[in-house]
């Protein structure tokens, strides 16, 4: 088995599609389907907590769940959030300064804190 197959198997939990935070808030359906066909629930409390930290524009632009992926550019082993809106929201949540508008590097304590705040809205991806 090669590394690409291993990584693909590790990422079976990725949503097939993502909706905006506003779409979730206005909908009765608090779930999404993953690549392996499972249906995952999103906690309404997590949605409301996230919405309380977002501007109206961020609610329209932010797609959930939020992806946090391995940061292979880091020599020390880190995670990253990419995307202008995602970075703005996550940096507010963690009270962490972003050095680029569309890239936020996270370390283990940051990821742990983010997952504790929004357990049903953070998906970890493994990238080569």
Query: In whole angstroms, what is the distance from residue 58 CA to residue 50 CA?
Result: 10
pLDDT at residue 2 in the model: 72
Range of the domain at 90: 3-125
Total count of domains within the chain: 1
Which pTM was predicted?
0.89
Helices (H), the chain: 3-10, 21-26, 44-52, 56-61, 84-94, 108-117
10-residue mean pLDDT profile of the chain (128 residues): values are 67 89 96 93 97 98 96 86 98 95 95 97 88
Cβ atoms of 114 and 92 within 8 Å: the answer is no
pLDDT at residue 77 in the model: 80
Taking only the tens place, the pLDDT of each residue in 60-90 is: 999 999 999 999 888 888 999 999 999 999 9
């Amino acid at each position: 088995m090669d590394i690409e197959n291993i990584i693909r198997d590790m990422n079976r939990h990725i949503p097939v599609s993502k909706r905006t935070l506003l779409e979730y808030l206005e909908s009765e359906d608090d779930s999404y389907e993953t690549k392996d066909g499972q249906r995952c629930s999103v906690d309404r409390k997590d949605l409301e907590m996230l919405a309380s930290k977002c501007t109206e524009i961020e609610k329209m632009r932010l797609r959930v769940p939020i992806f946090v992926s391995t940061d292979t550019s880091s020599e020390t082993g880190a995670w990253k959030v990419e995307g202008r809106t995602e970075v703005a929201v996550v940096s507010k949540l963690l009270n962490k300064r972003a050095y680029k508008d569309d890239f936020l590097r996270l370390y283990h304590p940051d990821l742990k804190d983010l997952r504790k705040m929004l357990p049903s809205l953070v998906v970890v991806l493994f990238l080569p």
